[in-house]
Amino acid sequence: MQKVARRMRWVAAMGVALVGVGVQAQQTAKDVVNTMLAQERAAQAHRDNYMYVAEERSERTGEHMWTERIAETPSGRVRFLLKEDGQPLPPDRAGKERGRLAEDAAHPEAFVKREQAQKDDETHARQMLELLPKAFILENMKEQNGDWRIDFRPDPNYSPSGMEERVLHGMSGWMLINQRQMRLHHIEGRLPADLSIGFGLVSVKAGSNFETTKAAFDGDWRTVRVISDIRGKAALFKSISRNQDVTRGEFKRVENTLSVPQAVEMVER
């Protein structure tokens, strides 16, 4: 009887395993992306704050490589410039940087207003993620080193609204989604051909691209690399561009209630 019981338990276990394999086999790329989006939204709603070091070359930095220590607060990111192009700041400029931070600490309401006016890179990344299941054809899903790799290309049946959405919808690319935690690991897209918007009032050049990479730290997934290179022209020959190359590391968790003055003291220390 014991042998029969063990045999029945083994058959039942095999049945459950086979059902699991069948469910996994039936998962579509859209299912996986929708699950990832739900995980990303939940994580954003319960996001912890960190201090970290970033290296950035962008329009904001005047195309120089800035090394900054950054502390996240509920009001925004407090930044302290440490180096430019690998060199420590000269004394006069370092003094101005500390003076700027002292102003932020003394008048945090001005800091909050300035931060709210800036649309950061991760906002654009979230916009792209939300577009994926409704505006793109998701295909060629396969396993790759513990991730799901999924290709995406524009769905011709979707009508984008607004300039940013039209630019994003024109891109094709691929993403990696961590299989165990169903979190975004990497995504990149590229515009394969010139894109004209508004009867030629705005044009975006072929080859414009973006790339975002995340990694797990202390159970959280943090953005560790952001690259964007969007090139084009608007009416009256005004150029439009969004060029950025950012690398982040040395993450340390900070209090989620960190105030602007506390963050200033932390980044200077």
Confidence at 215, pLDDT banded by 50, 70, 90: very high
CA distances from 123 to 116, 164, 179, 238, 265 (A): 12, 12, 24, 24, 27
Q: What pLDDT is recorded for position 82?
A: 97
Most confident of the ranges 19-23, 105-109, 239-243: 105-109
Q: Please give the average per-residue pLDDT across 93-112, as a whole number.
A: 92
Contacts of 232 (CB under 8 A, 6+ apart): 195, 202, 203, 204, 205, 208, 239, 240, 241
Tokens of 125: 């990344």
Residue ranges of domains in the chain: 28-269
**Separation CA 207–CA 194 (nearest Å):** 8
**Separation CA 261–CA 238 (nearest Å):** 39
Q: What pLDDT is recorded for position 13?
A: 41
pLDDT in tens, 160-201: 988 788 888 999 999 999 999 999 999 999 999 998 887 677
DSSP 32-49: HHHHHHHHHHHHHHTPPP
pTM of the model: 0.83
Beta bridge partners of 18: none
Q: What is the DSSP letter of 167?
A: H
- pLDDT, the chain, mean: 86
Confidence at 237, pLDDT banded by 50, 70, 90: low
